Amino acid sequence: MTAAKIGGVVAAVPTPFTENRTVDVDAFLEHGRWCLAEGCDLLNVLGTTGEANALSSVQRSALMAAAAKGLDGGRMMVGTGTPDLETTIALTRQAYELGYAAALVLPLTTTSRSRMKGFLPGSISSFEGQPKHLLASISTISRS
């Protein structure tokens, strides 16, 4: 397995909203395309700048799918961390299936390493050999 290479200019992409407080997917994709065309190497989707904590898991999942369809998933990392392990696993699996280059997760300090087994088909390379308190690091999704 080889891990995706993360480097260069990574733009933290904001998530725009409509006046009805729904995610403006068209504006999001337009901005993402502009960032990549202007020289960004990767986009950071649904991080703190991307309002991830203001969105439900359903909204996050929908934006992840739209971004992967409208942009190059291999040039994006996505915030999949949530306060609960079940949702974090589901969003991280979705990121893997959609072809994202990396997932950003929250520290899982109360989760034993044994519960982390089977987190993804393949592995999350940054998790290997890292103490639990460092699990917040960017985790590149390894592919076989």
pLDDT tens readout for residues 58-108 = 999 999 999 999 999 889 999 998 888 889 989 999 999 999 999 988 765
Tokens of 73: 């998933």
10-140 fold: TIM Barrel (3.20.20)
For residue 79, the SS3 value is: strand
pTM of the predicted protein model: 0.74
CA distance 17 to 135: 30
All structural domains of the chain with their residue ranges: 10-140
Q: Which of 128, 88, 116, 121 is nearest to 104 (CA)?
A: 88
pLDDT at 82: 87
